[in-house]
Amino acid sequence: MTLLQIAEPGSAPEINTERRIGVGIDLGTTNSLIAHFDGADLNVLAGDTGQASLPSVVYYGASQTLVGADAERYASAEPGNTIASAKRMLGRSREEFEDDPYIQLAAGEGLAFATDAGAKTPVEVSAAILAALKGRAEPLLSGPIVGAVITVPAYFDDAQRQATRQAAELAGIKVLRLLNEPTAAAVAYGLDEQAEESSVLAVYDLGGGTFDISLLRMRAGLFEVLATGGDSALGGDDFDRALAAHLLDELSIGEPTVVQRRVALRLARDAKERLSESAMVNLDVKGLDAATSEITVSRSTLETLLSPYIERTLTACRKTLADANVDIVDRVVLVGGSTRTPAVRQAVADCFDLEPLCNLDPDQVVAMGAARQADILVGNRRGDEALLLDVIPLSLGLETYGGLVERIVNRNSTIPVARAQEFTTARDGQTGLVVHVVQGERERVEDCRSLARFELTGIPPMVAGAARIEVTFQVDADGILAVSAVEQQTGARSEIVVKPAFGLGEAQITDMLKAGYEHASEDMLARQLGEARVEAEALLDGLLAAMTADGDLLSAEETAALQSDMKNLETVMAVNQPDDIREATEILGKASEVFAARRMDRSIQKALQGVSLSELESNVAEESTP
């Protein structure tokens, strides 16, 4: 039991004034933002020019790399070196983009852009954006950034989440949590703090490249994602492209050059934004066609062009409502710049029969929510925060005999989640099997997304159906999957952490980190040493406190063994070798796992005693009310 501290009369209690800094990052398709919550205010951290949002554009020239508005300037002159909307390609395969006229792919198997600075993967482009955000934030903050909450579309699959994590790692940012964008938006509105009985919230998020619809339920202290749906390839970029195609059509440009496409896109984006304010705009199109000077576009033309896309979002909304078995929505929050378009707002209001909430800037609301959550996760807790319970967006399963999918973890399961299922062999004498992990809702393997494939060998030869192989799926709180397979009789074991098939390998990331992405000036060893020591000290301190409090859970031998491992770690810490410290920390960590589990079992009792107590209290309160 923790003892309460009592200060000596007259002396001020010691207050820890140091506030650890966590930031929220909205890594968007079109624009990215970084925000910080200082305990009182949510601040979106702007760049030198005062612009809050950083265009998610990176320019890779022969002699320099630029990010944001500086990079955008090269979009027309050097379209091939100027990479925009890389988020659409995170965790995707080359095949999905080979026919895209807007992208110049580098030769080779992976998905990478051909630039004058060499082949650049979507992960590297995203890392450059993240590093730029970190760079603009650091001078504005009072201390080092401990970590970041990075938002992802709720619809992002496992590979896309992994790729996002890799990008952060590459940019030297510790990821505290990947948070679904709609959840972040609701947090920004403080809706998790409102003491309403129980209400359902819909978050309609139409950004540049993705559409998400999420249904959340709020109850005292709990914030639960009921269901998510949407389309990871639908957004404001489609609006721009539709209008750009319309402009090129009007000018009878049948086969536009890459530059013409870019110009048309920029004109379209500009026209779309201006049409939110006025009913009619004139566009200067001399850059597209020297013979024509102006084209007029009306709001109703735009709305006709957009309506199939808007309708697709509403279909997804209805499907998600049906999935969650929800009839009544109490609130709708609008997120994403594309919700500024009046036709979108009207369609949403009609669909839910509600006036949507939009008083926070729809472009900033996600970063703001992420910043609030980051502040909690770095340890600046008040103790009364709502808990965000997330779900996985797509079902996870295995290929079974005949190319069918056996679902192991269903879509919309609350995470973290672990599910085990037993399988057996199909042939007599079979000694190995391939575990093929897929994601999706369809019944046939070819209709789902293949995430990973690994082999389990060493199964003793038996008749078909006699072997018992337990396959376990574990999804962590970020929605990232690990799969293991164990043959029950021999204990033969094989496992894999699912990595994006077309992202970067672990070794590649290490190489890039070594090459010093943004640590060129930093002393790498000193940094690693510092990090290793912090982790080691946290473990030692935690264990000491735990042994004082719950030492009775250990036998004398167990205590002695732990103490010896602790002693060893302390000795190693005195030497300046980060690898040795990490190894000793890991050994001690493994050794103390059983102890940690026993302590948690004990605190289960305490947690539930608290419940019955508060229940008792509320009953008493009710009875005493006249």
Partner 1 sequence: MNASAGATARDYFSLFQLEPGFALDKTALERAYHALLAQFHPDRYAGKPEVEQRVAAQLCADINSGYRILSDEVCRAEYLLQQAGVDLVAAERAGVESTFLMTQISLREQLEELDQSDSAGRQSLTEEIEGHYALSRNQFAHTFAADACLDAARHWQEMCYLSKLLSEPKLRVR
Q: What is the three-class DSSP state of 296?
A: strand
CB of 161 vs partner 1, minimal distance in Å: 15
Residue listed under structure tokens 């300037």: 73
26 annotated active-site: yes
Phi, psi (degrees; rounded to nearest 5) at 44: -85, 125
CB of 404 vs partner 1, minimal distance in Å: 10
Q: Is 602:576 a contact under the CB 8 Å cutoff? A: no
CB under 8 A: which stretch of 1-9, 348-356, 471-479, 549-557 binds partner 1? Answer: 471-479
Question: Quick check: 423 binds partner 1 (CB under 8 A)?
Answer: yes
Question: Quick check: 584 binds partner 1 (CB under 8 A)?
Answer: no
Q: Residues 239-271, buried b or exposed e (16+ Cβ, 10 A)? A: bbbbbbbbbbebbebeebeeebbbbbbbbbbeb
Of residues 308, 429, 542, 551, which one binds partner 1 by CB under 8 A?
542
* E runs forming strands in 488-578: 493-497
Task: Name which of 25, 26, 36, 28 is nearest 144 in CA terms.
Answer: 36
Would you state the structure tokens that stand for residue 342, as one six-digit string?
């009046």
499 annotated active-site: no
Q: Is 454:434 a contact under the CB 8 Å cutoff? A: yes
Task: Name which of 211, 130, 133 is nearest 164 in CA terms.
Answer: 130
CB under 8 A: which stretch of 234-242, 280-288, 332-340, 599-607 binds partner 1? Answer: 599-607
Question: Quick check: 610 binds partner 1 (CB under 8 A)?
Answer: yes
Question: Quick check: 551 binds partner 1 (CB under 8 A)?
Answer: no
Of residues 23, 137, 343, 378, which one binds partner 1 by CB under 8 A?
378
Q: What's the first-to-final CA gap in the chain, in angstroms?
A: 37
Task: Name which of 622, 589, 513, 508 is nearest 121 in CA terms.
Answer: 508
Question: Quick check: 506 binds partner 1 (CB under 8 A)?
Answer: no
CB of 539 vs partner 1, minimal distance in Å: 4
Question: Quick check: 587 binds partner 1 (CB under 8 A)?
Answer: no
The residue annotated as part of the active site, out of 87, 134, 272, 499, is 87
Q: CA-to-CA distance for 161 and 152, rounded, in angstroms?
A: 7
Question: Quick check: 414 binds partner 1 (CB under 8 A)?
Answer: yes
Question: Quick check: 377 binds partner 1 (CB under 8 A)?
Answer: yes
Q: CA-to-CA distance for 22 and 178, rounded, in angstroms?
A: 13
- The helix (run of H) or strand (run of E) holding residue 600 is helix 593-624
Task: Name which of 321, 281, 284, 326 is nearest 301 in CA terms.
Answer: 281
CB of 487 vs partner 1, minimal distance in Å: 12
Question: Quick check: 221 binds partner 1 (CB under 8 A)?
Answer: yes
Judged by CB under 8 A, how many residues of this single chain contact partner 1? 59
Question: Quick check: 489 binds partner 1 (CB under 8 A)?
Answer: no
Of residues 524, 597, 616, 620, which one binds partner 1 by CB under 8 A?
597
Task: State which of positions 424-463 bind partner 1 (CB under 8 A).
Answer: 424-426, 433
**Site map 306..345 versus partner 1, x via CB under 8 A:** ------------x--xx-----------------------
Task: Name which of 209, 213, 225 is nearest 160 in CA terms.
Answer: 209
Nearer to partner 1 by Cβ, of 249 and 446: the residue is 446
- The helix (run of H) or strand (run of E) holding residue 299 is helix 299-323
181 annotated active-site: yes
Q: CA-to-CA distance for 127 and 106, rounded, in angstroms?
A: 18
* E runs forming strands in 153-207: 175-180, 198-206
Nearer to partner 1 by Cβ, of 227 and 376: the residue is 376
**Site map 118..157 versus partner 1, x via CB under 8 A:** ----------------------------------------
Of residues 603, 616, 619, 620, which one binds partner 1 by CB under 8 A?
603
The residue annotated as part of the active site, out of 72, 169, 192, 205, is 205
41 annotated active-site: no
Q: Residues 335-348, buried b or exposed e (16+ Cβ, 10 A)? A: bbbbbbbebbbebb
Question: Quick check: 242 binds partner 1 (CB under 8 A)?
Answer: no
302-309's contacts with Cβ under 8 Å and 24+ in sequence apart are 302/239, 302/243, 302/271, 302/272, 302/275, 302/343, 303/343, 305/239, 305/242, 305/243, 305/246, 306/239, 306/242, 306/341, 306/343, 306/344, 307/343, 309/234, 309/238, 309/239, 309/242
Q: Which amino acid belongs to residue 103?
A: I
CB under 8 A: which stretch of 234-242, 277-285, 464-472, 507-515 binds partner 1? Answer: 464-472
Nearer to partner 1 by Cβ, of 190 and 379: the residue is 379
Question: Quick check: 416 binds partner 1 (CB under 8 A)?
Answer: yes
Question: Quick check: 159 binds partner 1 (CB under 8 A)?
Answer: no
- Provide the β-strand partners of residue 484: 472, 495
Of residues 105, 242, 251, 389, which one binds partner 1 by CB under 8 A?
389
- The helix (run of H) or strand (run of E) holding residue 60 is strand 57-60
Question: Quick check: 81 binds partner 1 (CB under 8 A)?
Answer: no
Question: Quick check: 589 binds partner 1 (CB under 8 A)?
Answer: yes
Task: Name which of 336, 381, 322 is nearest 211 in CA terms.
Answer: 336
CB under 8 A: which stretch of 99-107, 197-205, 331-339, 600-608 binds partner 1? Answer: 600-608
The residue annotated as part of the active site, out of 181, 240, 375, 518, is 181
Applying CB under 8 A, which residues contact partner 1?
176-177, 221-222, 318, 321-322, 376-379, 387-389, 398-401, 406, 413-426, 433, 465, 469-470, 474, 476-477, 535, 538-539, 542-543, 589-590, 592-593, 596-597, 600, 603-604, 607-608, 610-611, 615
Catalytic residue numbers, as ranges? 26, 87, 181, 205
